[in-house]
Amino acid sequence: MSFKDKVIYQIYPKSYLDTNGDGIGDLAGIIKKLPYLKLLGVDMIWLNPVYPSPQKDNGYDISDYTAVNPVFGTMEEFESLIQKAKEHGIDVMLDMVLNHVSIEHEWFQKALAGDKKYQDYFIIRDETTDWVSKFGGNAWAPFGDTGKYYLHLFDITQADLNWRNPEVREELFNVVRFWMDKGIKGFRFDVINLIGKDEVLQSNAMSDGKPEYTDKPITHEYLRMMNEATYGSDPEIITVGEMSFTTVENCIMYTQPERHELSMTFNFHHLKVDYEEGKKWTKVPFDFAELKRLFHTWGTQMSENQGWNAWFWNNHDQPRALNRFVDVENYRVEGAKMLASAIHLNRGTPYIYMGEEIGMVDPDFESMDDYVDVESLNAYQELLEQGKSPERAFEIVQSKSRDNARTPMQWTHEVNAGFSKATPWLAVGNHATEINAAKELEEGSIFAYYQKLIRLRKEYPVIAEGSYQAFVPEHESVYGFVREHNGQKLLVLNNFFAQAAEVQLPEEFVGGEVLIDNYLSTEVTSDFTLQPYQSIGILI
Ligand code: TEU
Ligand code: CA
């Protein structure tokens, strides 16, 4: 399995680096930063959607699958990015949004104009159901003036595609092949476990409709078809499916190599441990016991059944993990390294989200005017409608908004954090003077710690390939696990709190080699004390 020692870095192109002074990041900006990425040591960069799009959902509303949005650059520049990245030993992963298209896509426009062929590309019904859109409100909208409705599980401008129609599948497989021909070696499939909907769609008051379209058996079939028709022919290609409200049983099936579906899956359960009663737009401290239980369940089950996780703390939909899981005022640096170790030494492929490698934190915006994201704006209105005070509603948006991750990459302490000479499309965070790449490379230690983790994964098969077992699963503050491969063992201990924590080490690890540690020269004794947010990997 060639991909197991690789590390993937996610870039939100709009916010990486703007080279032509329009306030929006571009492909030329990514090309410029290839040496930085090579220095970090990552194998592949995943770009969020770069296709033409009305940007109602920041590019996840695609209006043309096989072109480049001029705001990012030209197709020639895109090809040159692939080529130059390759010269730096880096491959490119594209975001494939195959569950829905923008209503500005020509397929939807032709459907609206009355073309029957294209009407069958969408999910159009005479009656609605009570399904809820993931961005708020009902999931059905009037289909022109036909008296019918089309399904949109996301924004009203994102119409769900009808995968039951073989012509739709063929169109989408052509899209994948188009990008394969350009030399793309990775695909991230957006909400891919939602593509298979029931044939007869029914209301389901208990669950917003989720069981009617999530992880349906037919989705596994569609993935096998896509695998066979496209990326299955190239063993170098890495695929990752983004799975919404999924189960470990399904993710095992999506990723077992002999099933020929996907290389790995993202799930989000571990990032819902700070939701009150499962609801995102709430603000409560994270539940450590639940976080640990999830890591152990997914770690063990995937390990025992040859499944493969994609692990991440941050992405473009999540507030910064440092603000969620760490006392960031006092332990930003220790915490950043501990979180990194917890996934980079784990079984599965680690993803780094731009800025994580320099310990970026939430922007701490001071007003709703700073927010751009459609989901955040809708949520603020809904919170007010629920009777929350404007202060409380703002506080919740401030801690949960997806814009927390989407602010411009902080390169320097200069104007606009060195991201752009013009006003950025989304404001720069308030901490760019203290937290930026230039300063980090000069005097910081987080970037160097990531470099080391990436190197270790390549040097030690126990990290890339080893099995996973829980260690001290009942501990109140330590998340621990053991990796094992060909007689080698790695014990990883992560203290998730600002207080020191005691651990009893099994005899076999006493005196073991400290492979990595975010504190200096720890001695490995049997009564072991972990410092605040300490993380240590002990090899025997
Ligand atoms: O997100 C999938 C998804 O399930 C989202 O609802 C996610 O849980 C939410 O953004 C968290 O607040 C993917 C993309 O990552 C996201 O950016 C897109 O908006 C969405 O699909 C629609 O394409
Ligand atoms: Ca630009």
Distance CA 418, CA 437 (A): 10
Contacts of 280 (CB under 8 A, 6+ apart): 272, 379, 400
Q: From 134, 242, 324, give the residue whose CB has the most ligand 1 atoms within 8 Å, as the site to mutate.
A: 134
- Residue ranges covered by each domain of the chain: 8-99+166-194+213-370+407-456, 106-151, 467-539
Q: From 102, 266, 317, give the residue whose CB has the most ligand 1 atoms within 8 Å, as the site to mutate.
A: 317
Residues listed for the chain: 540
Q: Are 12 and 29 in contact (CB under 8 A)?
A: no
pLDDT digits (tens, 9 = 90+) for 209-257: 889 999 999 999 999 999 999 999 999 999 999 999 999 999 999 999 9
């901490």: which residue's tokens? 431
What's the whole-model pTM score? Answer: 0.97
Return the CATH number of 467-539, one of 2.60.40.1180, 3.30.70.20, 3.20.20.70, 1.10.10.10.
2.60.40.1180
Determine which one of 190, 357, 373, 375 is catalytic: 190
- Closest ligand to residue 59's CA: 1
If you classify domain 8-99+166-194+213-370+407-456 with CATH, what class do you get? Answer: alpha beta
Query: Helices (DSSP H) in 246-287: which residue ranges?
Result: 248-255
Q: What angle do CA 48, 51, 53 make, to 5 degrees?
A: 105
What is the reported pLDDT for 136? 85
pLDDT digits (tens, 9 = 90+) for 157-206: 999 999 999 999 999 999 999 999 999 999 999 999 999 999 899 998 77
Residue scoring higher pLDDT (420 or 199): 420
What is the reported pLDDT for 522? 78
pLDDT at 521 over 80: no
Q: What angle do CA 249, 462, 354 make, to 5 degrees?
A: 75
Asked if 242 is an active-site residue, the reply is: yes
pLDDT at 1 over 60: no
pLDDT digits (tens, 9 = 90+) for 43-75: 999 999 999 999 999 999 999 999 999 999 999
Distance CA 237, CA 91 (A): 10
* Spacing, Cα 20 to ligand 2 middle (Å): 5
Residue 365: how many other CB atoms lie within 10 Å: 20
**String of DSSP letters for 416-428:** GGGS-SSPPSSPP
CA-nearest residue for atom 7, ligand 1, is: 317
* Spacing, Cα 60 to ligand 1 middle (Å): 9
What is the reported pLDDT for 40? 98
Query: Which CATH number is 106-151 given?
Result: 3.90.400.10
Instruction: Give the side-chain half-sphere CA count within 13 A for 524.
Output: 22
- Closest ligand to residue 402's CA: 1
Distance CA 286, CA 349 (A): 24
Distance CA 233, CA 220 (A): 18
